[in-house]
Structure 1
Amino acid sequence: MSTDLSTNLRNIWRRRSGYRDSLYRFLSRRRVLAAITILPALLLFTFITLGPILWAIAAGFYEIPVFSPQWEFVFLDNYAELLAQETFWVSVWRSVLFAGGSTTLQLVAGIGIALLVNRSFKFSNVVQAIVILPYMIPTAVLGFIALWMGNAQWGVINEVLLSVGLLDQPFSWFGNHSTAMIAVILTSSWKFTIFVTIMVLARLQSIPENHYEAARVAGANTFQVFKDITLPNLKSVIFIVLLLRGVWMFNKFDIVYILTGGGPGDATRLAPIYAYELGFGLTRLGMAAAMSTLLFVFLAGVAVVYFRVLEPAKEVRTE
């Protein structure tokens, strides 16, 4: 009887070992391993990103009452009404101005800061950490700091300009129609320039030092070294930054809404702010979804033209 028990135990152990080996061989297959690795990220992307995008596209074809679960299918009426509105086109143009001005300022300032902090000097690591600090400050906190600094009554900016004689009386930087957009662009660039600095600094530190040594031996001056060595190596990063910062600043909502709320009047009413007003101010949820879809199509078209015309892939190389 003990022999039969031992035999049964060995058979059970062999079966379990066989199941384990089969499972191991199954999980070791390249396609199965890829599916297991990618599937969680794909599901997360579907529920968090792809799902809301598809929902917004579908909602753009409906008139959605706020207090009723019944959606009324209106097909392209929301799009036709939007495209006929001057307010829509003005908001899109303001978003283009804001994105263009912010991206240009961030690119120029970011490259300049990166070139400065890339130099070897005492406490260079401390300086690099301090430079990155604004990017770590939450956008809401930075917005309220900027509002305090630019306040017409007790803002530090007005106090400094009055003390040096550049102003005769306090000025409301965020409350004046002529300066609100410039003030918002400067404030947003204050925070997001550091993104450009980080990207450019990482590329600068990967350029081989012997390139600069060879240029100095050949008698090249500082400008020639920048033009012939530094700038060509930065082209790939510049192309990436232009696209990313341009798209992100075109869609920027939080810091603009905190600083001005789209005002004064409509001076800083960007396209995302106008879409927000349509959805939550005028309760035109279907039209707000249609506008979001139009902005998505516009940015996708700009990205396609960007890649076709500038061809950034040709500037990217591996060493």
Structure 2
Amino acid sequence: MAKANNVTQRENNVASGSRLEYQRRVFDILSDKWVMGVLTIVPATLLFIFVNVIPIGWAVAAGFFEISAFSPVWHWAGLSNYQQILTNSEFWATIRRSLVFAGGSVAIQLVVGTGFALLLNRTFRGSTFVRAIMMLPYLIPTAILGFIALWMGNSQFGIINQVLVSLGLITEKFPWYGNESTAMIAVIITNSWKFSIFVTIMVLARLQSIPSGLYEAAEVMGATPYERFRDVTLPNLKGVIFIVFLLRGIWMFNKFDIIYVLTQGGPRGITTTAPIYAYKVAFNQLQLGYAAAISTLLFVMLIAGAIIYFHVLEPEQEVRVE
């Protein structure tokens, strides 16, 4: 019996030693920086390739073919899709509308978002509650917020019309999203209502990192609140404003969801921006190759715009490490 116990104990020791040796080898392998680099970089790289590179490559390739939604066969078209697009006045009209939408949205978001950030940077009772309330539009899904805006702006029973009529600002109820003269403005304001808080978050983070000593020194020197904003706050906000301008400009130029929910590009195409136009070409007209060429051109335009932006404005010069 004792002999059997000794044999069992010996086997357990051998197994334990083997396990420790195996763990040691695994630890040595994982400790190698090249192995860790591969294990951490490769999954992210593969995900990026499958989610971004392959779809972009597919779209670029599809732009050189005539593709029907009812046939799996692609017919080579060469540059004919691009030639048609560049001579298509409707395409350039959608580009102008995209620029109007992006420019108006970014301008409103920068002004409103920065104003909210300056307000929230102050200490007052209930500031936490106010911050939470201001975050709500950004947290609500875009489609839901779009339908809420449609109900609020409804020409028959929308609360916006009821309030304006009761205040005497308008004499009769008005279809804000259904009138050619106001549709684009209404969409821009609704879009800014949701996304201004992004600017607020970015600017507020920068405001709270500005050393308080700068304001104290300016106050000692007799600077007025406006002068403190001009000479201390604004110079420190330039870097984040440049970044926000670029990001919001690209995102607003590519904006699709909220425009489609609110107007679907109407009325009479007045809010048909370039992404809406590409969608209609692909899924209404079923010209997939032509739509892919439009998307590729938009991609190239945004890259060119980003290059010009960094070359002209040089936002990296405004970034300072403290």
User: With structure 1 as the length reference, what TM-score do the two structures score?
Assistant: 0.95
Mapped to 2, the partners of 1:9 and 1:182 lie a distance apart of 78
Greater alpha carbon shift after TM alignment, 14-23 vs 53-62: 14-23
Q: Deviations over 1:41-68 (max 9, x none)?
A: 2221111122111111111111112111
Q: Which amino acid aligns with 2:38?
A: A
Mapped to 2, the partners of 1:4 and 1:166 lie a distance apart of 97
Mapped to 2, the partners of 1:210 and 1:163 lie a distance apart of 50
Query: What is the DSSP-based 3-state SS (H/G/I as helix, E as strand, rest coil) of the residue aligned with 1:72?
Result: strand
Query: What is the DSSP-based 3-state SS (H/G/I as helix, E as strand, rest coil) of the residue aligned with 2:206?
Result: helix
Mapped to 1, the partners of 2:211 and 2:111 lie a distance apart of 23
Greater alpha carbon shift after TM alignment, 44-53 vs 304-313: 44-53
Unmatched segments (≥5 aa) in structure 1: none
Greater alpha carbon shift after TM alignment, 122-131 vs 16-25: 16-25
Unmatched segments (≥5 aa) in structure 2: none
Q: Deviations over 1:16-58 (max 9, x none)?
A: 5444433322211222212211222222111112211111111
Mapped to 2, the partners of 1:252 and 1:265 lie a distance apart of 19
User: Equivalent residue for 1:292?
Assistant: 295
Residue 261 (str. 1) matches residue 267 (str. 2):
no
Greater alpha carbon shift after TM alignment, 35-44 vs 278-287: 35-44
Query: What is the DSSP-based 3-state SS (H/G/I as helix, E as strand, rest coil) of the residue aligned with 1:63?
Result: strand
* Displacement after TM superposition at 1:217 (Å): 1.3
Match of 1:275 among 271, 275, 278: 278
Residue 239 (str. 1) matches residue 242 (str. 2):
yes
Match of 1:97 among 83, 90, 100: 100
Greater alpha carbon shift after TM alignment, 37-46 vs 274-283: 37-46
Q: Deviations over 1:213-237 (max 9, x none)?
A: 1111111110111111111111111
* Displacement after TM superposition at 1:105 (Å): 0.6
User: With structure 2 as the length reference, what TM-score do the two structures score?
Assistant: 0.94
Mapped to 2, the partners of 1:31 and 1:309 lie a distance apart of 39
* Cα distance change, pair 145–5 in 1 and its aligned pair in 2 (3 A): closer
Q: Percent of counterpart pairs with the same letter?
A: 57
Aligned length: 319
User: Equivalent residue for 1:192?
Assistant: 195
* Displacement after TM superposition at 1:6 (Å): 8.6
Mapped to 1, the partners of 2:126 and 2:158 lie a distance apart of 32
User: Equivalent residue for 1:86?
Assistant: 89
Q: Deviations over 1:162-194 (max 9, x none)?
A: 112221221111111111100100000000001
Match of 2:42 among 39, 42, 55: 39
Query: What is the DSSP-based 3-state SS (H/G/I as helix, E as strand, rest coil) of the residue aligned with 1:24?
Result: helix
User: Equivalent residue for 1:125?
Assistant: 128
Match of 1:65 among 60, 64, 68: 68
User: Equivalent residue for 1:174?
Assistant: 177
User: Equivalent residue for 2:119?
Assistant: 116
Query: What is the DSSP-based 3-state SS (H/G/I as helix, E as strand, rest coil) of the residue aligned with 1:188?
Result: helix
Q: Any residues of structure 2 matched to 1:3-82 within 5 Å, and which?
A: 17-82=20-85
Mapped to 1, the partners of 2:158 and 2:281 lie a distance apart of 33
* Cα distance change, pair 6–158 in 1 and its aligned pair in 2 (3 A): closer
Q: Which amino acid aligns with 1:182?
A: I
Query: What is the DSSP-based 3-state SS (H/G/I as helix, E as strand, rest coil) of the residue aligned with 1:268?
Result: coil
* Displacement after TM superposition at 1:101 (Å): 0.6
* Displacement after TM superposition at 1:269 (Å): 0.3
Q: What's the RMSD between the two structures over aligned residues?
A: 1.8
Mapped to 1, the partners of 2:150 and 2:315 lie a distance apart of 38
Residue 148 (str. 1) matches residue 151 (str. 2):
yes
Greater alpha carbon shift after TM alignment, 9-18 vs 159-168: 9-18
